[in-house]
Amino acid sequence: MSRLAIDVGGTFTDVVELNPDTGALSFGKVPTTPDAPARGVMDAFGLAESGTPAITMFTHGTTLGLNALLTRTGARTAVIGTRGFRDVYLLGRTDRRTNYDITYRKPPALLDRYDTFEVRERCRFDGSVHTPFDDEDARRVATIVAERGYGSVAVAFLHSYANPEHELRMREVLAEVAPGVAVTLSHELSREYREYERTSTAVLDAYVKPIVHRYLRELEGELEGGGFRGRFLMTRSGGGAMTAQAAREQPVSLILSGPAGGVIGAAALSRLLDEPNLITIDMGGTSLDASLILDHEPVLYQGAEFEGLPINTPSLYIHTIGAGGGSIAWLDEADALQVGPQSAGAAPGPASYGRGGTAPTFTDAALVLGHLGSDSPLGGKLALDRELADKALQPIATRLGLAPEALARGVVQISTMKIMGAVRAITVELGRDPKDFALLSFGGGGGLVAVEVARELGISTVIVPPGQGAFSAFGMLLADVQHDFARTAVTPLAALDEAAAGAVYREMEAAAVEQLESEGFGPDRRALARTLDVRYQGQEHSVTVAFPDDPATFAAAVESAFAELHERQYGHTMDDPVEVTTLRLRATGTVDKPELPTVAERTSGGPRPAGTRPVYLSPDEPAVEYRVYTREELLAGDRVAGPAVITEHTATSVIHAGDSLSVGRYGELVISVSDRTGGQQ
């Protein structure tokens, strides 16, 4: 019996198989199939050594919903709101975050005003009914929705977080009048105030729901036909997992499901290696995701954004840029070299893949430099073609009067600078010093740039986990099933009715237990955690603190925890009164966690290189010999001095002169980064 995790990326689909009895892990890659996503997943299943019927749990992360948003290929969506509030979604917050950029253009909305409707009804903030639900008006709107052929509808009525009855009735009307339309109700995603954020979340969910629903139905059918009878989970943006059935109903929770796996794995590795603070960079084929681990825990936000559109559900803090192995090099109107965000993706992929691609990419540049080699097939199967990479780079090189190798060096340097910007966005720009962190690098391309990124930022240590190219998939094996519940309760902390709050929590806990019970998690597999959102009166945003256990010191404990968190996040505290905004509950269904197997220690001698490879550094150093090591042959305690290239089944890592690495007990590479003069930082 075994467990399987599959992470579908823009270029490759990564797979990790765990044998729970022995703890053995195996890593693999297959090409992503954008035209038929389920086929790529089934191809990955084909790598499972134990066979599909023997897999007891399958955890899956996908960028399907995210890609639909990026490419604006989701369902044709309508919004139904309260009479008089038709324009909530399109008006948004009317703010402008880039005040001094004259080239800024607001990202296109997912729908037009033609697609917005209103129904006569209204509830007050306390849930009481101001205007009863008008069935006749609702049927009029539902008829228009049916006649226009919408694929999905988002229903977001005013104050439905306090009283959802009108939204539930609207769904019944739509089911009668427009039965083929997918329906999202805002209160089922977010029971919190802020009507725009709640509406935006509902629209995003409705926009991707038909696509995700069809995909999961097709995949479940393929799995069943292949003999799979285990538990099927999907990773969610908030760092946990959800059942495939729940994912079909709330696909907005999957938008960052792929990158979340890597952050989950990073937090586990942080505890294992006793490295409390990590910056993570996950460089795949299409994009790079940067995140933070603080005190062994990922940074969790109670809301996220997609192109300025809020998603009012818990989400890991992940900063994504278009800098992956397939990122295309191009010249702008001023003949300046640019890299990305356009990507060659999986089809046709970089030119060196030999699949018909002709555009020069980061991967082609890394091959021409010598960081990658034709002698080390990607995923053990795909041999890169140096001649095709040279041919792809030549037109731009000729136009700029450069040799292909010099152009390739520029491509890698530009990508490195973009990645540095992503790291600075989650550290320096938020008041954190990168030097206080170690850099954890994974993904198929992370090891190619990690050392240079760390050197430029003054980071002294880079850690490369085992199976780095499929590390996000490994993290998915660690994901517990999670459900988040929330109720708005804006009230001064001193006036909070603890008995009333307790009643609200018990209501959420009953719903949580019922949900987890239906998913097969008994009492010994369930955990419920109460938290509060707290802020100073007059503030817009809040921080989340744990709900104190002792009623006698409740207010003092909340205020103390809030002051500590506010100081950490914003750098100051105030004497203003404190108020509670939201009661939250996180329900967790725990799964068995795999343990990373240890690697054997070398008893005599040292690691031997498999050969050497010329690496281009500059016109003055066009062919520096780098020793090439095979990672699978490195043992615990081994030390390697740069310059060197470490190849493995799923990725490649590069260290330079003055850098050195040691192999940890779990097979992790711990790289000491030198400064520019060759000394250690």
Model confidence at 293, in pLDDT bands (50, 70, 90)?
very high
Structure-token match 């890592």, residue found: 653
Residue with tokens 């999961």: 216
Q: Across the chain, what does the average pLDDT equal?
A: 90
Can you list the alpha helix ranges (DSSP code H) found in 129-194?
135-148, 165-177, 186-189
Quick one: tokens of 425? 């966005």
Q: Please give the DSSP secondary-structure letter assigned to residue 243.
A: E
- Mean pLDDT value of segment 190-210: 93
Q: Identify any residues that bridge with 82 across adjacent strands, giving them in sequence order.
A: 119
Give tens-digit pLDDT for 536-565.
998 888 889 999 888 888 889 999 999 988
Percentage of residues in the chain having pLDDT higher than 90: 60
Q: Mind listing the pLDDT tens digit for each residue in 239-284?
A: 889 999 889 999 999 887 778 889 999 999 999 999 999 999 999 8
Model confidence band, residue 680 (pLDDT cutoffs 50, 70, 90):
low
Residue 366 has pLDDT above 70, yes or no: yes
- pLDDT band per the 50, 70, 90 thresholds, residue 528: very high
Distance CA 458, CA 375 (A): 33
Asked if 371 and 645 touch (Cβ cutoff 8 Å), the reply is yes
pLDDT band at 316; cut points 50, 70, 90: confident
With contact defined as beta carbons under 8 Å apart, do 340 and 328 qualify? Answer: yes
Q: What is the DSSP code string of 111-122? A: S-GGGEEEES-E
Q: For residue 596, which of 257, 265, 231 has the smallest C-alpha distance? A: 265
Mean pLDDT along residues 295-308: 82
The CA radius of gyration of the chain, in Å to the nearest whole number, is 26
335 Rama sector, left if φ>0, alpha if ψ -120 to 50, beta otherwise: left
* Residue 147 CB contacts under 8 Å (≥ 6 apart), including other chains: none
Percent of the chain whose pLDDT exceeds 70 = 99
Which of these, 428, 429, 452, lies nearest to 439 by C-alpha position?
Answer: 452
d(CA 603, CA 45): 37
* 647's tokens: 């190849």
Say how many CA atoms lie within 13 Å of 368 toward its Cβ.
29
Angle among Cα 80, 85, 86 to the nearest 5 degrees reads 50
Amino acid identity of 158?
L
Mean pLDDT in residue range 132-151: 97
What does residue 299 show for φ and ψ, rounded to 5 degrees?
Answer: -80, 120
Whose structure tokens read 């690496």?
615
pLDDT at 49: 82
Beta strands 624-630 and 644-647, pairing class:
parallel
**What confidence tens digit (pLDDT) does each residue in 401-436 have?**
999 999 999 999 999 999 999 999 989 888 889 999
Q: Which amino acid is at 123?
A: C
Q: Which residues are CB-contacts of 27 (< 8 A; sequence separation ≥ 6)?
A: 14, 15, 16, 467, 469, 470, 473, 474, 649, 650
Using the predicted structure, report yes or no on whether residue 235 has a pLDDT greater than 50.
Answer: yes
Place of tokens 């005190």: 295
670/468 Cα distance (integer angstroms): 13
Residue 76 CB coordination number (10 Å): 15
Residues 606, 613: Cα–Cα separation, whole Å? 20
Backbone angles phi, psi at 443, to 5 degrees: 90, 165
Rounded Cα distance, 454 and 449, in Å: 9
Strand, coil or helix: 23 = coil
Helix, strand, coil proportions of the chain in percent (round to 5)? 35, 30, 35
Do residues 565 and 578 make contact, with C-beta atoms less than 8 angstroms apart? Answer: no
pLDDT classification of 681: cutoffs 50, 70, 90: low
Query: What global pTM score does this model have?
Result: 0.86
CB-based contacts of 483: which residues, under 8 Å, 6+ apart?
A: 242, 246, 512, 515, 516, 586, 587
For residue 312 the two structure tokens come to 């009012």
Burial 396-412 (b: 16+ CB within 10 A, else e): bbeeeebbbbbbbbbbb
Question: Which regions of 270-349 does DSSP assign to beta strands (E)?
Answer: 278-283, 288-294, 297-298, 300-301, 304-306, 309-311, 315-316, 318-321, 327-331, 337-343
pLDDT computed for residue 380 by the predictor: 64
Return the pLDDT at 678: 47
Pairing verdict, β 278-283 and 288-294: antiparallel
Residue 572 has pLDDT above 90, yes or no: no
Identify the sign of the CA torsion 47, 51, 57, 60.
positive
Q: Does 104 have pLDDT greater than 90?
A: no
Whole-angstrom distance, CA of residue 430 vs CA of residue 325? 28
- In whole angstroms, what is the distance from residue 670 CA to residue 650 CA? 18
Quick one: tokens of 51? Answer: 């066979």
173-179 average pLDDT score: 96
Backbone angles phi, psi at 108, to 5 degrees: -60, 140
Please write down the long-range contacts of 505-509, taking CB distance under 8 Å and 24 or more positions apart: 505/530, 505/547, 505/583, 505/585, 508/583, 508/585, 509/585, 509/587
Decide if 625 contacts 2 (C-beta within 8 A): no
- List, for residues 578-632, the tens digit of each pLDDT value: 999 999 999 999 988 777 888 999 888 889 999 999 999 999 999 999 999 999 9
Q: Please choose, from the candidates 553, 573, 548, the residue with its C-alpha nearest in 3D space to the C-alpha of residue 563.
A: 573
**Angle of helix 165-177 relative to helix 135-148, nearest 10 degrees?**
50
